[in-house]
Amino acid sequence: MTSNINDVNKAQSPVKGFSLYALSIFMLSVTDASAKWLTTGYPIGEIVFFRSIFSFLPLLFVAYKGRITLTYKSQNYKANILRAIVVVFTAVTFFISVKHLPLANATVLSLSNPFFMTLLGLLILKEKVSNLHWFFIFVGFLGVIISVGGLSSGSILYSFIGIISAFLYAIGGIVTRYLSRTDSAITIALYTTSFLLLFSIFTIDYNWRMPNSYDLVIFFVMGLTGGLCNYIATSALSSIDVAKVAPLEYTIIIWAAFFGFFFFNETPNLYTIIGSIMIIASGIAHIHSTKS
């Protein structure tokens, strides 16, 4: 049975949309931590390759359980291709950033994307954003800027790359919101995963190496959570405004601090802590005002 744009994978209410997007952020944090671990021994192209290979698994499972035919048939091929390309560059720039920065710092920088998501949602999708919501988004973005103050001068370049990744991520979110009006979540995710795989194949060179059994498990976890994150986030954005779920991006800093401390022996500095508090506070306030 072929899926349509109103298939069972779409979130049916704002509450479910919020819940799905929060879950996708947790999945993304696991993906990021796995990538951080792998960048110490593997080239970025190889990491993207295994991420895309294992990301196909949740798509196949969802298609099987829902009796959905995986297809590239789309109402908007150009938008799907654009989103896929944007996601490829988002992943690459983030991997570069997280390789050279502590996980918490790289994650905080990525949290500038709600500002970009809200701005693009207003300009492109004509979504309504109140002055109060703009204030909360601004406070969160200011927290991102403050966190950069705790980095060394040698890390500024990778910080800038991290912000570029956040901007690209926001563009991907906007295109996803646009595509969800015509295409199913699984079709959108299929395009993205396929393009990630295609990109990685062109990066094959002598630097690639066969992962050991332990790293292969981490590759599997990274790909699985990455694939689930992509699909779940797409499902959430099919039923709720980008600006409303944008603050949920801030919850990733909690997961990043946890993974950074326990797996990489990283302790956030004072600037990162202050910036994170501002980010989380603004996110909670934004969510509360959205519900009221």
Task: Please write the tens of the pLDDT for every residue from 249-270.
Answer: 777 888 898 899 989 888 888 8
Calpha distance 223→5 (Å, rounded): 26
Q: What is the pLDDT of residue 152?
A: 64
Q: What is the pLDDT of residue 153?
A: 63
Q: What is the pLDDT of residue 10?
A: 43
Q: What is the pLDDT of residue 138?
A: 83
Within 10 angstroms of residue 152's Cβ, the number of other Cβ atoms is 8
Q: What is the pLDDT of residue 259?
A: 92
Count of CA atoms in the C-beta half-sphere (13 A) of 204? 7
Where the chain has pLDDT below 50, the residues are: 1-12
Q: Which of 97, 100, 122 is nearest to 111 (CA)?
A: 97
Residue pair 144/279 in contact by the 8 Å Cβ criterion: yes
Q: Which of 168, 162, 177 is nearest to 256 (CA)?
A: 162
Q: Whole-prediction pTM value?
A: 0.77
Write out the two tokens for 185: 């979540």
Q: What is the pLDDT of residue 8?
A: 40
Q: What is the pLDDT of residue 96?
A: 92
Cα–Cα distances (Å) from 278 to 21, 23, 26, in that order, read 21, 22, 20
Write out the two tokens for 166: 């956040």
Residue pair 258/90 in contact by the 8 Å Cβ criterion: no
Calpha distance 105→251 (Å, rounded): 14
Q: Is 265 in a helix, a strand, or coil? A: coil
